[in-house]
Amino acid sequence: MKKQKYKLPEDLKWHCIWLVRGHDRRVELYHERRNEILHGSPSPMVVDHMTSDGEVIGVQKLRGNRVSDSTASKAIMLESIEKLTDTKMIRAVEQAKFLIGADCSEEQRQRLSAAIWDSCVLGRDFAFDYYNIPMSRDTFYSRRREFLYNIAINMEFL
């Protein structure tokens, strides 16, 4: 029996698959948060910093003639978005997706990437033959395991 490369424990494998399945929702939420900060009206307070959960800390309400530095407050809030766990998940999945098929031509890489993505999202409804990828089923699923393994590495699960 040959040893599988990029073997993950079952719970980690499913955790990585769920990171892929929730990726589009997290990306949409990320852009909503950024747009809210960038295009929102300046707040009547100065934000010193935020926690990794997005909770504002070090807020000073403005009184009198004091002018707030809305650009600095927005920069701090944008920086805090980059530190959120959701953003880390987005980056981990995108970095792993970027590595798919690095040894293939661009057209094959895109088809392989789409097939691996759909395989994770669709699960049992995924039809390997539909994608007409020039590789064996075993090679395809080996590359899928590598993709999930790279997500686990990027998320520091391993």
pLDDT tens track for 108-156 = 999 999 999 999 999 999 999 999 898 999 999 999 999 999 999 999 9
The number of beta carbons lying within 10 Å of the beta carbon of residue 9 is 11
| pLDDT > 60? residue 10 | yes
Looking up tokens 């970027």 gives 98
Q: Answer whether 152's CB lies under 8 Å from 17's CB.
A: no
Rg of the chain (C-alpha set): 21
Please state the rounded mean pLDDT for residues 37-56: 64
Residue type at 98 in one-letter notation: F
Q: Answer whether 37's CB lies under 8 Å from 81's CB.
A: yes
| pLDDT > 80? residue 85 | yes
pTM of full prediction above 0.85? no
How far apart (Å, rounded) are the C-alpha atoms in residues 82 and 112? 29
Sequence-separated (6 or more) residues with CB below 8 Å from residue 20: 93, 117, 120, 121, 151
What is the pLDDT confidence band of residue 71, given thresholds at 50, 70 and 90? confident
Q: What pLDDT sits at residue 108?
A: 93
Query: 37 phi and psi, to 5 degrees?
Result: -75, -45
With a pLDDT cut of 70, the percent of the chain lying above it is 80
| pLDDT > 90? residue 15 | yes
Q: What is the DSSP letter of 63?
A: -
How far apart (Å, rounded) are the C-alpha atoms in residues 49 and 148? 34
Q: What pLDDT sits at residue 21?
A: 98
What is the pLDDT confidence band of residue 40, given thresholds at 50, 70 and 90? confident
What is the pLDDT confidence band of residue 1, given thresholds at 50, 70 and 90? very low
Question: Mean pLDDT in the chain?
Answer: 86
What is the pLDDT confidence band of residue 47, given thresholds at 50, 70 and 90? low
